[in-house]
């Protein structure tokens, strides 16, 4: 039955494309067995769109191109469900489930096993879809079960919902019921995007699905990763349906619906219980959230005999899994210091049973997270614990905020070592600046100090460092040089021979280089090559320790962040004490000869590099100029003395000319560098 039969002037390719696209949708969603790649699918859609642009009169409402409505609604209209959408009774234990089975048998006056269709209860939004002659004509929310909202525009955008039924044999009027949900991966990606844009996060996938369906502009709904899983039928007219519930699900699949792939038929209530346990074990690995298993008497004839009680069927029950979200109270926030110095706020909660365990702590990640949640001490909060994931606070119940709720104060000093806590711009994490002295960071600091590229103390490995710190034998860097043969030999898997080897390695490590020593201190962001640049530029440890941030930034490859960390390191008395202790223990190196800054030939001159340099990289050119005492600035100003302009120089060159500055090319720069003894 082609809708185009009256318009034979349209190319037949249009209808062929639609059929092909619908077929691939069916393979993808109903059968979970796609035959083409996403790219090929997109090409079919693209071709159909082109043809429909050429022949606009050929567009039909069920064309796969017509999923997204053009104009937003001003409000949702109300839909009265032809047959009410009922709720289900719940079971919370095996006893509840056995009692349900007993009631079914009693009512049917049988003692034989009852067969049950077992389905996963997806955690989403229940909807009703109405098809007339195979065409989707209405989509509605469950609402209160009697009245729902018309969300036709929005359900049309969900690709797993057929606009036109596939196959044959469907009733003339068919109401399909199911759950619209957001798979976990799509939910995480959506929140990831919101986080990057500093927008409000969705609390959980169900919340995100509900929010997405409640959009008046269907283009927003279309952009959300929603799916629908069909689980039953409602109003049916002009046709017959299979005799069992499992048969109906199979029919729905042939008509193009996504049905849950875990669905099974249990011969009796004991098999049903086993199914519940089997799914419970893999609940966290599923691609979507579920909150229980629904058991339905499989025979429709028996369903009819059982009937309904108030608003729930007597023939079905939902056996719930332990809740993954609960509310509790935030009692306090404490701050923990990690081994890299990160200061993390930890929520102390009134203990609550959630996700199968009792939770009394949850991480709050960082200051941004606290601001995003708008959380205060004393608040009622919603905790989510899905699977083995660390419990999260996902929402604050602001209506329950007590009048004496307190703001969360981030500490200015490390709770472990009392060093200042710092937050670097663009980094959400606050860190203890204690470095060498912070007990929380001690093990990592010592491991790094002893490592091969640092002081190279062979044999003083990670395991041994941990033991020595745990036993209190080492608490700061210099302590390793005070270790005795007896102390080392008493360690696990050590003998006198290995103890001697380590003592020799310790002794040998005392003679080092300035670059290695700077690197060994583990100053944040100071890697091997930066440490070498510092050594070559300053020549002595004293000069480095005395440099201010401006001076530090004159070193090749050193920007404001590194300069800040280095300056901060030396500001702290405790770090200076640690260095002095190391020197007292015998650590030494040779200073490097550097010309006194006043004697440098380009002292007092500021250069700006712009355009492409061919013989030198920008970094090398900068390093040479710095070595000769010049400053290298990023932008042109009246303080600039020379602009080195290569091909393609743009606004900086224009500005230099405007200010009447001296402009030289790369050839002149190379000459200059050679004149002052640089090898270029």
Q: Is 432 in the site for Zn ion (CB under 5 A)?
A: yes
Cβ at position 431, least distance to Zn ion in Å: 9
- Identify which of residues 207 and 574 has a Cβ nearer to Zn ion in the complex: 574
Q: Which pair of structure tokens corresponds to residue 461?
A: 């490995």
d(CA 631, CA 609): 11
Q: Is 438 in the site for Zn ion (CB under 5 A)?
A: yes
Three-state SS string over 560-580 comes to HHHHHHHHHHHHCHHHHHHHH
Q: Degrees (nearest 5) of the Cα angle 603, 604, 607?
A: 95
Q: Is 646 in the site for Zn ion (CB under 5 A)?
A: no
**Of residues 380-419, those binding Zn ion (CB under 5 A):** 414, 416-417, 419
Cβ at position 523, least distance to Zn ion in Å: 15
- Identify which of residues 101 and 433 has a Cβ nearer to Zn ion in the complex: 433
C-alpha pair distances (Å), 514 with each of 447, 476, 483, 518, 519: 19, 20, 24, 6, 9
Strand partners, 358: 353
d(CA 649, CA 636): 12
Helix (H, G, I), strand (E, B) or coil at 379: coil
- Identify which of residues 290 and 416 has a Cβ nearer to Zn ion in the complex: 416
Q: What is the C-alpha end-to-end distance of the chain, expressed in Å?
A: 81
Q: Is 468 in the site for Zn ion (CB under 5 A)?
A: no
d(CA 481, CA 509): 10
With CB under 5 A as the rule, give the number of residues binding Zn ion. Answer: 7
Q: Is 421 in the site for Zn ion (CB under 5 A)?
A: no
Q: Is 343 in the site for Zn ion (CB under 5 A)?
A: no
Strand partners, 368: none
Annotated catalytic residue within 109, 121, 282, 463? 121
Q: Is the CB of residue 155 less than 8 Å from the CB of residue 161?
A: yes
Cβ at position 419, least distance to Zn ion in Å: 5
**Of residues 182-211, those binding Zn ion (CB under 5 A):** none
- Identify which of residues 384 and 442 has a Cβ nearer to Zn ion in the complex: 442
Q: Is 521 in the site for Zn ion (CB under 5 A)?
A: no
For the chain, the residue count is 680
10 Å Cβ neighbour count for 71? 10
- Identify which of residues 574 and 606 has a Cβ nearer to Zn ion in the complex: 574
**Of residues 84-143, those binding Zn ion (CB under 5 A):** none
655 catalytic? Reply is no
Q: Is 474 in the site for Zn ion (CB under 5 A)?
A: no
The angle that helices 618-627 and 666-675 make with each other, rounded to 10 degrees, is 40
- Identify which of residues 436 and 526 has a Cβ nearer to Zn ion in the complex: 436
Q: Which pair of structure tokens corresponds to residue 473?
A: 């034998």
Cβ at position 437, least distance to Zn ion in Å: 7
* Interface segment toward Zn ion; rule CB under 5 A; list 120-128, 309-317, 438-446, 493-501: 438-446
- Identify which of residues 416 and 464 has a Cβ nearer to Zn ion in the complex: 416
Q: Is the CB of residue 645 less than 8 Å from the CB of residue 663?
A: yes
Cβ at position 376, least distance to Zn ion in Å: 26
**Selection from 342, 148, 165, 371 nearest residue 251 by Cα:** 165
Cβ at position 287, least distance to Zn ion in Å: 42
Q: Is the CB of residue 235 less than 8 Å from the CB of residue 173?
A: yes
Cβ at position 226, least distance to Zn ion in Å: 46
Single residue of 148, 434, 435, 556 touching Zn ion by CB under 5 A? 434
Q: Site residues (CB under 5 A) for Zn ion?
A: 414, 416-417, 419, 432, 434, 438
Tell me which residues are annotated as active site.
121
């Amino acid at each position: 039955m082609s809708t185009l039969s009256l318009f034979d002037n349209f190319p037949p390719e249009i209808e062929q494309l639609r059929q092909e696209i619908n077929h691939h949708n069916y393979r993808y969603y109903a059968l979970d067995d796609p035959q083409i790649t996403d790219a090929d699918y997109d090409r079919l859609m693209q071709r159909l769109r082109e043809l429909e642009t050429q022949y606009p009169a050929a567009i039909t409402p069920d064309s796969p191109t017509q999923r997204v409505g053009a104009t937003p609604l001003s409000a949702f209209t109300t839909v009265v469900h032809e047959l009410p959408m009922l709720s289900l009774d719940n079971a919370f234990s095996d006893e509840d489930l056995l009692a349900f089975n007993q009631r079914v048998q009693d009512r049917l006056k049988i003692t034989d096993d009852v067969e049950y269709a077992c389905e996963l209860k997806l955690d989403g939004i229940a909807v009703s879809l109405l098809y007339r002659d195979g065409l989707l004509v209405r989509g509605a929310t469950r609402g209160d079960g009697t009245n729902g909202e018309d969300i036709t525009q929005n359900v049309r955008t969900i690709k797993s919902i057929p606009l036109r039924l596939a196959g044959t044999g469907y009733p003339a009027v068919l109401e399909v019921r199911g759950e619209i949900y957001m798979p976990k991966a799509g939910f995480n990606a959506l929140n990831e995007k919101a986080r990057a844009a500093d927008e409000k996060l969705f609390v959980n996938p169900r919340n995100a699905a509900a929010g997405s369906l409640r959009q008046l502009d269907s283009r927003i709904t279309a952009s959300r990763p929603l799916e629908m899983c069909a689980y039953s039928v409602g109003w049916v007219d002009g046709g017959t349906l299979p005799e069992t519930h499992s048969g109906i699900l199979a029919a729905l699949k042939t008509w193009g619906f996504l049905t849950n792939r875990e669905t099974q038929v249990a011969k009796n209530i004991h098999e049903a219980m086993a199914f519940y346990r089997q799914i419970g074990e893999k609940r966290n690995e599923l691609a979507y959230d579920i909150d229980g298993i629904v058991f339905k008497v499989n025979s429709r004839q028996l369903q009819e005999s059982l009937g309904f009680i108030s608003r729930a069927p007597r023939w079905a029950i939902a056996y719930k899994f332990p809740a993954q979200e609960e509310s509790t109270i935030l009692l306090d926030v404490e701050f923990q210091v990690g081994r890299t110095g990160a200061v993390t706020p930890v929520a102390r909660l009134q203990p609550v049973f959630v996700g199968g365990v009792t939770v009394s702590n949850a991480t709050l990640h960082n200051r941004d997270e606290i601001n995003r949640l708008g959380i205060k001490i004393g608040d009622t909060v919603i905790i989510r614990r899905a699977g083995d994931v660390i419990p999260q606070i996902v929402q604050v119940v602001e209506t329950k905020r007590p009048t004496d709720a307190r703001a969360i104060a981030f500490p200015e000093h490390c709770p472990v070592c009392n060093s200042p806590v710092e937050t670097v711009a663009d980094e959400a994490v606050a860190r203890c600046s204690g470095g060498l002295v912070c007990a929380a960071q001690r093990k990592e600091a010592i491991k790094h100090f002893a490592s091969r590229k640092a002081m190279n103390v062979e044999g003083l490995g990670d395991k041994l460092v941990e033991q020595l710190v745990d036993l209190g034998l080492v608490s700061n860097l210099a302590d390793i040089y005070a270790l005795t043969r007896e102390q080392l030999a008493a360690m696990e898997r050590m003998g006198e021979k290995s103890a001697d080897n380590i003592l020799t390695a310790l002794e040998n490590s005392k003679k080092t280089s300035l670059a290695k020593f700077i690197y060994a201190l583990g100053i944040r962001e100071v890697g091997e090559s930066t440490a070498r640049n510092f050594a070559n530029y300053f020549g002595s440890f004293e000069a480095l320790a005395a440099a201010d941030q401006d001076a530090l930034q004159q070193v090749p490859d050193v920007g404001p962040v590194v300069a800040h960390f280095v300056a901060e390191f030396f500001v702290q008395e405790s770090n200076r004490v640690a260095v002095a202790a190391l020197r007292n223990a015998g650590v030494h190196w040779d200073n490097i000869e550097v010309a006194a800054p006043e004697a440098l030939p380009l002292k007092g001159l500021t250069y700006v590099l712009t355009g492409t340099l061919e013989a030198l990289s920008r970094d090398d050119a900068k390093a040479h100029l710095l070595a000769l005492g010049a400053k290298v600035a990023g932008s042109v100003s009246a303080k600039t003395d020379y602009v080195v302009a290569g091909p393609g120089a743009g606004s900086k060159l224009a500005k230099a000319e405007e200010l009447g500055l001296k402009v030289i090319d790369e050839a002149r720069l190379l000459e200059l560098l050679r004149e002052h003894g640089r090898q270029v």
